[in-house]
Amino acid sequence: MTVGTRSGVRVRGLTRVFGERTVLDGVDLDIAPGEFVALLGASGSGKSTLLRALAGLDGEGGGEIDVPAKRAVVYQEHRLLPWSRVWDNVVLGLSKRGLRGRDLRARAEDALAEVGLSARADAWPLTLSGGESQRVALARALVRTPDLLLLDEPFGALDALTRLNAQALVADLWAEHRPAVLLVTHDVEEALLLADRALLLADGRIAREYAVDLPRPRSMDDPRFVALRRDLLDGLGVRPVATNLTTAREAL
Ligand SMILES: Nc1ncnc2c1ncn2[C@@H]1O[C@H](COP(=O)(O)OP(=O)(O)OP(=O)(O)O)[C@@H](O)[C@H]1O
């Protein structure tokens, strides 16, 4: 793994084998600096394995990985320390990286303000809602000013409304800070609302790629959005009951 020579991602021929199973079988992947890429695929296809490899959290495998040094990960579970207040969770580990005093305070204040949680800096994680906890996890990522943000189904455990708000927040944060992003998701609409490109992982490789060339902010009612959703669902082998409410009504 090469770290810190670029602000985007370059992966060539990445393989990961667990026991008898080849989960990644020669993945090639490029993410340009500031590009937002969504990764979809069937359960067990290796999406999280690929994300973990980019995070450097995985054991060694074959292939080449070149990633920025400044990376941050947000998982489906917030992974906040319950015995530390929100503020301490956000700044955790940063003093070890040489960030201290005023700089640290200013960055953490900015990050909490950006996720709308300045007033909860002294709260214990157990007193937060699921959506608030994920926003703290986002603040903890932001405060590290990552060049690469790795999002592993970050909204998978949220209810539909909270999820929509969290997606809008991520869209805004990305527009403001422009890290390269790899978003692992099962949610086709989430991919199309947020990403510049959607990739489909199958049989251990990037099997298909979809350019999401839609203006932002995106609307699920845009006919091009609806067409892309159909393409992606087709690619995933899912046959939708109805592609949107209009077609559902027309079908009645
Ligand atoms: N450390 C590991 N040791 C053994 N097997 C593993 C390990 N990590 C992942 N696997 C296996 O690799 C396969 C891919 O797992 P991975 O979590 O990457 O899939 P995924 O596409 O993210 O799935 P899901 O969408 O269900 O989260 C699975 O069969 C999993 O059991």
pTM of the model: 0.92
C-beta 185 within 6 A of ligand 1: no
The mean pLDDT value of the chain amounts to 91
- Three-class SS state of 99: coil
| pLDDT value of residue 6 | 79
| pLDDT value of residue 243 | 56
| 170-192 pLDDT, tens digit each | 999 999 999 999 999 999 999 99
Residue 43 tokens read as 């359960």
C-beta 57 within 6 A of ligand 1: no
Cα 149 to middle of ligand 1, angstroms: 20
| pLDDT value of residue 78 | 87
Give the per-residue SS3 of 52-72. HHHHCCCCCCEEEEEECCCEE
Using the structure block, give the residue that is written with the tokens 């084998």. Answer: 17
Instruction: Tell me what percent of the residues of the chain surpass a pLDDT of 90.
Output: 79
| 50-71 pLDDT, tens digit each | 999 999 987 667 999 999 999 9
Give the span between the Cα atoms of 42 and 75, in whole angstroms.
18
Could you give the C-alpha distances from 227 to 21, 195, 206, 251, in angstroms and in order?
A: 35, 16, 21, 17
| 197-246 pLDDT, tens digit each | 999 999 999 999 999 999 999 999 999 999 999 999 999 998 766 556 66
Q: What are the structural domain ranges in the chain? A: 34-52+70-236
Q: How confident is the model at residue 72 (pLDDT cuts 50, 70, 90)?
A: very high
Which protein residue has the closest C-alpha to ligand 1 atom 28?
44
Residue pair 44/37 in contact (Cβ under 8 Å)? The answer is no
- Three-class SS state of 114: helix
Give the span between the Cα atoms of 191 and 236, in whole angstroms.
13
In ligand 1, the atom with minimum distance to the C-alpha of 19 is 4
Pick the CATH number of 34-52+70-236 from 3.30.230.70, 1.10.10.520, 3.40.225.10, 3.40.50.300: 3.40.50.300
| pLDDT value of residue 17 | 93
Cα 18 to middle of ligand 1, angstroms: 9
Measured CA angle at 98 (ends 172, 178), to 5 deg: 20
| pLDDT value of residue 231 | 95
Q: Does the pLDDT value for residue 251 go beyond 60?
A: no
C-beta 59 within 6 A of ligand 1: no
The residues with which 36 forms a beta bridge, in sequence order, are 181
Cα 50 to middle of ligand 1, angstroms: 9
Rounded average pLDDT over 95-103: 67
Give the span between the Cα atoms of 176 and 50, in whole angstroms.
26
Give the span between the Cα atoms of 109 and 239, in whole angstroms.
46
β-bridge pairing 197-202 and 21-31 = unpaired
Q: How confident is the model at residue 5 (pLDDT cuts 50, 70, 90)?
A: confident
Q: How confident is the model at residue 34 (pLDDT cuts 50, 70, 90)?
A: very high
Using the structure block, give the residue that is written with the tokens 């209810």. Answer: 159
